Amino acid sequence: MQPVLITLEEFIYQRQKDFPFASGELSGLLRDIALASKIIQRDLSKAGLVDHILGKTGSVNIQGEEVKKLDDFANNMLIQCLQTSGECCGVASEEEDTFISFHEKNRHQKSKYVVLFDPLDGSSNIDVGAPVGTIFSIYKRVSPVGEPCTNADFLQKGTEQVAAGYVMYGSSTMLFYTTGAGVNGFTLDPSIGEFCLSHPDVKTPNSEKTYSCNQGNYHSFENGVKEFINYCQSSEGKKPFSLRYIGSMVADFHRNMIKGGIFLYPNTADAPKGKLRLMYECNPLAFLQEQAGGKADWGGGRILEIQPKELHTRTPVFIGGENLVNRLLENLK
């Protein structure tokens, strides 16, 4: 018998019907992001062929990183899709200095939401055709509806997210998201251009087999982290763990979420306050990880409870199956 095919569109519609007072805006936002990601995927798949989309733009973003052409393309595509539909009142992006309010473009809009994103995560992987991703996070605004959005709408704790997710552009393109009622994953069927439900109600296994980190930084990790890595490598009473590190957080996180494991990016000599961005990378993935039964901590508490002081703030992050994260936190004590 043919398996039942449930598209993302159909799934969102079904879920919306479960909430009688839902206005449909949130569903609209997820559709906008899915559309942008299909266009990004299309151009990414040509990256090896088309000269003009590979390489650098020549500019540097607010975080001091070189902006690749596809970073720019993905950023503009997300902004365009979200602005055109009018389902959110503003966005903040890893590639933008400050948030962008859509108020000037559409003074009549009554949207309640803001969206934050890392348009292309792991973009240094593009040159070699390895997986990259898009990460997004959605909040209800705290300023009055109908007014221009403010910094406070974006600087909310991760616990306030109403939805979050990512798209991974790998050997297949997958979109995983949560609205706080578990995690569901969809795989793009390129022949029909639709994301189809492939991973319903994802739960991270508590397996202890894999760890992911940039171990080149080992010597600048704090002692607790080193001890944890030594434990992963030791063969006393168990098999040593496998180290898997792609260098694209979405791809490393995605594998661990499905198969079990832990991803860590601690403080290093180069990044004494952590490298990864709280608002665009850590909060959305922490929300997903907790919804899949795992844990995300910065070494002193839940990632989701950090009060952000600025948009581009960074944090150390330890995220994955609960047992492994707990073990690491024990080492850090």
Q: What residues line the site for ligand AHG (CB under 6 A)?
A: 65, 94, 118, 121-123, 214, 247-249, 275
Q: What is the pattern of x (binds Mn ion, CB under 5 A) and - over residues 102-141?
A: ----------------x-xx--------------------
Nearer CB in complex with ligand AHG: 117/287:
117
Nearer CB in complex with ligand AHG: 195/263:
263
Nearest approach in angstroms of CB 169 to Mn ion is 13
Nearest approach in angstroms of CB 204 to Mn ion is 21
Distance CA 230, CA 99 (A): 42
Among the candidate windows 51-59, 94-102, 198-206, 311-319, which touches Mn ion by CB under 5 A?
94-102
Of these partners, Mn ion, ligand AHG, none, which one is at the site of residue 214 (CB under 5 to 8 Å by kind)?
Answer: ligand AHG
Distances (CA, A) of 219 to 170, 213, 227, 276, 331: 31, 13, 12, 19, 16
For the chain, give the secondary structure using H, E and C: CCCCCCEHHHHHHHHHHCCCCCCCHHHHHHHHHHHHHHHHHHHHHCCCCCHHHCCEEEEECCCCCEEEHHHHHHHHHHHHHHHHHCCCCEEEECCCCCCEECCCCCCCCCCCEEEEEEEEECHHHHHHCCCEEEEEEEEECCCCCCCCCCHHHHCCCHHHEEEEEEEEECCCEEEEEECCCCEEEEEEECCCCEEEEEECCCCCCCCCCEEECCHHHHHHCCHHHHHHHHHHHCCCCCCCCEECCCCCHHHHHHHHHHHCCEEEECCCCCCCCCCEEHHHHHHHHHHHHHHCCCEEECCCCEHHHCCCCCCCCEECEEEECHHHHHHHHHHHC
Nearest approach in angstroms of CB 122 to ligand AHG is 4
End-to-end CA distance of the chain: 54
Nearer CB in complex with Mn ion: 89/100:
100
Nearer CB in complex with ligand AHG: 38/275:
275
Nearer CB in complex with ligand AHG: 8/324:
324
Nearest approach in angstroms of CB 252 to ligand AHG is 6
Of these partners, ligand AHG, Mn ion, none, which one is at the site of residue 295 (CB under 5 to 8 Å by kind)?
Answer: none
Nearer CB in complex with ligand AHG: 170/247:
247
Nearer CB in complex with Mn ion: 28/284:
284
| 119 alpha-carbon distance from chain centroid | 9
Decide: 210 and 256 in contact? Cβ < 8 Å: yes
Distance CA 159, CA 302 (A): 10
Nearest approach in angstroms of CB 126 to ligand AHG is 9
Number of residues located near Mn ion, criterion CB under 5 A: 4
Nearest approach in angstroms of CB 63 to ligand AHG is 8
Of these partners, Mn ion, ligand AHG, none, which one is at the site of residue 247 (CB under 5 to 8 Å by kind)?
Answer: ligand AHG
Nearer CB in complex with ligand AHG: 85/214:
214
Nearest approach in angstroms of CB 234 to Mn ion is 31
Nearest approach in angstroms of CB 104 to Mn ion is 26
| Residue ranges binding Mn ion (CB under 5 A) | 94, 118, 120-121
